Chains A and B, each alone.
Chain A
Amino acid sequence: MMDLLRRYGVSAAEGGPRGPSAGPPRSAGSCEVTMAVPGAHDIDRFELANGITLLVRENHANPAVVMTGYLQVGAYDESPQKAGLADFVADGLMRGTERQSFDAIYEALESVGASMGVSGGTHATGFGGRCLSEDVPMLLETLAEVLREPSFPGDEIEKLRGEILADLAERTHDTSRMASLAFYELAYPEGHPYAISASGYPETIKAIDRDDLVGFHREGYGSEGMTMVVVGAVDAELLGARVERVLGDWRGQTFAREPLPETRQLTEVRERRVTVEDKTQSNIVLGYPGPARTDPGFLDARVCNTILGVFGLMGRLGEKVRDEQGLAYTSYSSLSGGPGPGPWRVVAGVDPVNEEKAIGSIRAEIRRMCDELVGEDELRDSQAYLTGSMPLQLETNSGVARTILSMERYGLGLDYLERYRELIEGVTAEDVRRAARRWLDPDAYALAVAGPPEA
């Protein structure tokens, strides 16, 4: 929202990401909360014979429909010499198919106000789309076509390469992206997929040819493990039949994967400062490899992170770094919680003269999380926030779809939202400190700063 606001000439008082992905509703005092939390009772789950899982939740309040999902292929499956290949393939899928040109695909989507996109990630390749209910058949056919029969036309691929290279050129002058890039290299061991940019580097993008794209698609795109969620004005049974029709006879192939290299907690300070000329602000990323979403301690870490850098106006970090010291417009923490040990990090933007001071206060807050038990009030506030914000997360079709996808992806169970409140309220101050001590350390961390030359 922040970027859109800025584009619009609007500035918001608060920055930073907010909130968890899901939680059940609070039992209400004065008024009755009757909204059905998405769960086994109203989510239709289909398993196709070829390994595709489809989840559907009907919502007929509005004519809109959203679709989201992923395939089990990503940067994980590419070699470091061809970094960016999985992303390049994902971007290339919609550039033309055996049946339709790039122009025809987008004309069909955009002329009815529909949208669709495919984007690469490290573990998986995500796809998503939205349309009005009458255009659902077209959206599904387009999805099936681009996943199954992309043609990677040579001229379109060269244009796409030019766009990727331009984006990488923009990255070298973007302090926030440069700080993030350096952070991943510092926080993960050399050669770990997380230490390599999934977008690639100019030299690796230049080294990828059309055969690489065609080969990666042939060997890595398949139905096994594909998961999709549709939410909105649809009939679940009809939709299930439609998906069966367009994707039921697809197999393709998927890569066999080695387990991720082991990630150890950091035992020393690993830091780097990247100079970006002609900038007025420095971006700081200080963090650690964090818990996987499936780690039994994940919710302890989520409560800990909420206290540290989310609750109210960016938690304790917002209070100290922004509010009391006036050092930064943003300073917050975030926990990625994906399929692997994604980062747990603190992000801040500061005047270059205040870099050291800000890093000092960030470390002091981390030390406090590790040394002291959080107060009962503070714990209860953050728990209330995590459980109470659920109705808002589920306000839109896309919020519901994201939540269902996450429940399926991490094996949380379709009754997860009904259990969520109890799970969060079961987290104690000791659990929070244990999570802090397990994943955070004020004296051993990865620190990347990108900004103008030091004064």
Chain B
Amino acid sequence: MRSVNDGVVEKTLSNGLSVLVKEIHTAPVASFWVWYRVGSRNEHIGVTGISHWVEHMLFKGTSRFPKGAAEKAIAREGGVFNGATSHDFTAYFATLPTDRIDLSLEIEADRMGNAAFAPEEVEAERTVIISERQGAENSPEFLLEEEVMGASLRVHPYGSPTVGHLCDLKAITREQLYDHYRTYYVPNNALAVAVGDFEAEAMVEAIERHFGGVPAGDEVPEVTAVEPPQRGERRVMVCRQGLVPYLTVAFHAPPVRDRDFFGLTVLNAILTGASSMTFMGSGLTNKSCRLYQALVGKGLAVDVSGFLLPSIDPYPYTLSVVVRPDRDPDGVEEALDRELERVMSDAVHQDEVDKAIKQAKAQYAYSKESVTGQALWLGFGEIFADQGWAEAYLDNLGAVTVEDVRRAARTYLAASNRTVGWYLPVGSGAA
């Protein structure tokens, strides 16, 4: 066990489980997370959506906690309990009054190896997951993003949606799900994070007591997919009944470990406003950023946003625009292009960089208000890079120069590096 900076205690158990623990005494609560290094990155066509489905199955019972028992036990203590699947990880967490946090250690240690995957539960969940996908399909933004990502990434598994393709959701078997679970849900592929109002050493011991007996598994299969270079602009279109056009442009971008990641983070803030690095939202407005001014401010669009996903492998950076129904889509794309040209040819101003950094500092403070948020940050950095990443995040952003931003713009915003997607409404729409 060793103490690293910022009061974080780190330990690797003999079965390979990484443990990060941090004391925070602002409220009598604790948050416990288990992160598995598996997500849509580890899938291929035929089994897309399998990581997300496995996550659902972990809420369907073990012999010790039959279906429903775990969430009821947590709810009885007033806790929150959930799971989430993303491209690079699947995470489970509970936040509870400190004196009951042991319950969540017990549940997580148990379902690391003992989830039942009862065949009838697999079938019941198949329709729930298809329903989840159908709900998403009702959203124009989901349909457009699915097309754009599929076109931008034709080799890398990030190109398929986390929820999976419908044909795969219909075909995946119980055996495939269980294999996926046994392959990736092993302590040597997992990270346990606890943050809260406890004594760190006692918490590490408790984690060891619950998880120490879980046997190590084989090394997980490596992801070998590499997206080949793009040789020219790609374009896709989605046409559905509706009234509002949507534009999404995806650019190949660096992964989180690349030095350009921070330059691109600042560039994104300059173009589309400050956004939260983690998936807990920021709630900040973006009305003073360049693209808002150029598109919404000029009455061409109603909303503009940018999204840079921290990822292990390169994941496309996206710009999205909700176009005003009474405006010509081509004109909006031209206005966007003019702004992108400008940021590639002229240097950004130092005060724009300073502003992005101050915004990031404020966001960081907001995101660390809750112990759940602090636990998220700790695990998050470790999944993509290492424990030092989250810690050095503000310093690395603070070191970004005008030249770094210009390099990021010239390297990543070129037309030949992008996929342009349009959702164009047809017909008159609703009854």
Contact = CB atoms under 8 A, between A and B. Distances in A.
B322 interface: yes
Contact of B80 (A172, A176, A327, A392): A392
A267 interface: no
B242 A13 contact: no
Interface residues of B, number: 98
Identify which of B128, B137, B324, B368 gathers the most chain A CB atoms within 10 Å of its CB: B128
Interface in A437-453: none
A275 B279 contact: no
Given A8-B86, A274-B430, A115 B285 contact: yes
A281 B131 contact: yes
Nearest to A381: B76
Contact of B68 (A7, A319, A325): A319
Nearest to B315: A9
Contacts of A142: none
B268 to A, nearest CB: 14
Contact of B281 (A4, A167, A351): A4
Given A110-B287, A349-B135, A275 B430 contact: yes
A159 interface: yes
B369 A397 contact: yes
A326 B242 contact: no
A312 B68 contact: yes
A394 interface: yes
A255 to B, nearest CB: 29
A35 interface: yes
Interface stretch (B13-21, B214-222, B359-367): B359-367
Nearest to A281: B134
A90 interface: no
B58 to A, nearest CB: 8
Interface stretch (A192-200, A209-217, A382-390, A405-413): A382-390
Contacts of B429: 172-173, 276-277
B161 interface: yes
Given A172-B243, A384-B78, A10 B85 contact: yes
B242 A278 contact: yes
A277 B325 contact: no
Q: Is the interface of A mostly helix, strand, loop or mixed?
A: mixed
A107 interface: yes
A146 B58 CA distance: 50
Interface string A113-140: 1111100000000000011100000000
Contacts of B395: none
B152 interface: no
Contact of A327 (B55, B58, B127, B135): B127
A12 B142 contact: no
A4 B75 contact: no
B63 interface: no
Nearest to A166: B302
Given A103-B288, A113-B362, A391 B97 contact: yes
Contacts of B242: 173, 278
Given A173-B430, A350-B131, A392-B29, A28 B362 contact: no
B369 A64 contact: yes
Contact of B361 (A113, A167, A172): A113
Contacts of B358: 111-113
Contact of A18 (B80, B131, B134): B80
B325 A351 contact: no
Interface in B71-99: 71-72, 75-87, 95, 97-99
B75 A381 contact: yes
A76 to B, nearest CB: 26
Nearest to A386: B78
Interface string B126-140: 111111101111101
Interface in B9-61: 26-29, 40, 52, 55-56, 58-59
B216 to A, nearest CB: 26
Contact of B28 (A1, A28, A277): A28
A325 B299 CA distance: 48
B22 to A, nearest CB: 14
The 5 A-B pairs of least Cβ separation, nearest first, read A388-B78, A113-B362, A389-B78, A31-B99, A326-B127
15 contacts: A9-B40, A12-B82, A12-B84, A14-B59, A109-B285, A112-B362, A116-B285, A159-B297, A165-B326, A279-B137, A311-B72, A323-B68, A326-B124, A389-B79, A395-B95
Interface of B: 26-29, 40, 52, 55-56, 58-59, 67-68, 71-72, 75-87, 95, 97-99, 123-132, 134-138, 140, 142, 161-163, 240-244, 273-274, 279-281, 283-289, 293, 296-297, 299, 302, 307, 309, 322, 324-326, 355, 358-363, 365-366, 368-372, 425, 427, 429-431
Interface of A: 1, 4-14, 18, 23, 25-26, 28-31, 33-35, 61-64, 102-103, 106-107, 109-117, 130-132, 158-159, 162-163, 165-167, 169-170, 172-176, 178, 274-281, 283, 311-313, 319, 322-330, 349-351, 381, 384-392, 394-398
